[in-house]
Structure 1
């Protein structure tokens, strides 16, 4: 136990996870980008924010986030900030997630994207939802994905001061 008491042993199942990043993409009209993706473990389609695993050793997290945004949505961002850091399931996993806020978005022509979508990524429609509506959907239980819900609520909170309190992409993780 954390206090060093070895008088009682406690078993815990722990999932070791490489970590992940998420992207809350916000356009100039105050809309967030959401993707619809099938998730086998829950047996349903979910509205999600672009996201991916920390699967390339040494890759800066904002570079990974930019790659995931491009691959999953076809957009590039000119402005990146750290929105929030979290442990999504700290009772059973060591996964760390950093969610970025991406702004100044530009659509990239499909022929310039060097990525082939397969499996559940083959058919992921992209929609733009006003931030206020996305907040309503999160609070009404219409959004279930952790990165999307956390990103939407954090972006809404951060917008109160014009995003002035956000950290730069190079901010260290705690």
Structure 2
């Protein structure tokens, strides 16, 4: 294979466009919308609307009960006019609420569980074509059932379904689960479970090491 087929990826190399001006046209608790003017040496002047996240990342939580099942929440989503199956997730109430604290709150509110262990396992950009929104996914273990809270007017008391990782994977493949953060979270959980098997065989996968490191850091505080 030619050595020039691939090059090292640099996400921060010089941009092909230059931002000229920015004007906020909407502000809300969760996000702002800016109208931004750009200039390109190839296509000239153009404008885009960019959604800027507020109060930090969206947080999702994929839990695993002691009997090996994932709590998924049935949510009615207004923009798409349909029900979805999702991991518990939400946003900070204000800029002082940390992602870990959001994970604790949303796991209780939406799924009705508390966790002994909560470890962030992945962080991603949702739609970089028009938004700065990131989602951080936490892995929750040592789950204990607790009283759930109210969510919102569209789904005040959502139903919670418990499914195995294998069932969740099948739901992704057959189109039952279409929520992106849930798909990514299930993939990471399957990776974690495979890594646990490898660890028992004497290997030391990166995800296992990250979980062990996070536990050690919390104990040291």
TM-score (structure 1 length as normaliser): 0.86
Quote the offset at 1:4 in angstroms: 5.6
Report the Cα distance in structure 1 between the residues aligned to 2:114 and 2:169, rounded to whole angstroms.
24
- Tell me which structure has the larger Cα radius of gyration: 2
Change (3 A) 1:166 1:121: farther
Distance in structure 2 (CA, Å) of the matches to 1:59 and 1:134: 30
Instruction: Give the Cα–Cα distance (whole angstroms) in 2 for the partners of residues 145 and 38 of structure 1.
Output: 12
Partner of 1:28: 66
Query: CA–CA distance in 2 between the matches of 1:31 and 1:56?
Result: 32
- Equivalent position of 1:142 in the other structure: 176
Contact 1:72 1:121 (8 Å CA) reproduced: no
* Equivalent pairs, count: 166
Matched, 1:13 2:46: no
Give the structure-2-normalised TM-score: 0.69
Deviations along 1:25-78, one digit per CA (max 9) or x if unpaired, are 111222111010100101100001100013321222111111011011111000
Instruction: Return 5+ residue gaps in structure 1 as ranges.
Output: none
Shift of 1:11: 2.1
Query: Which residue does the alignment assign to 1:78?
Result: 116
Per-residue deviation, 1:165: 4.1
Which protein, 1 or 2, shows the higher relative CO under an 8 Å CA cutoff with sep ≥ 6?
1
Q: What is the rounded CA distance, in whole Å, between the counterparts of 1:143 and 1:77 in structure 2?
A: 24
Aligned-pair distance for 1:80? 1.0
**CA distances 1:58-109 after superposition (whole Å, capped 9, x unpaired):** 222111111011011111000111121000111111001100001100001x
Displacement of 1:9 in angstroms is: 2.7
**1:122 aligns with one of 136, 156, 176:** 156
Superposition CA RMSD, Å: 2.1
Q: Label 1:55 to 1:118 Cα distance change in 2 as closer, same or farther (>3 A).
A: closer
Aligned 1:95-134 pairs, distance under 5 A: 95-108=133-146, 110=147, 115-134=149-168
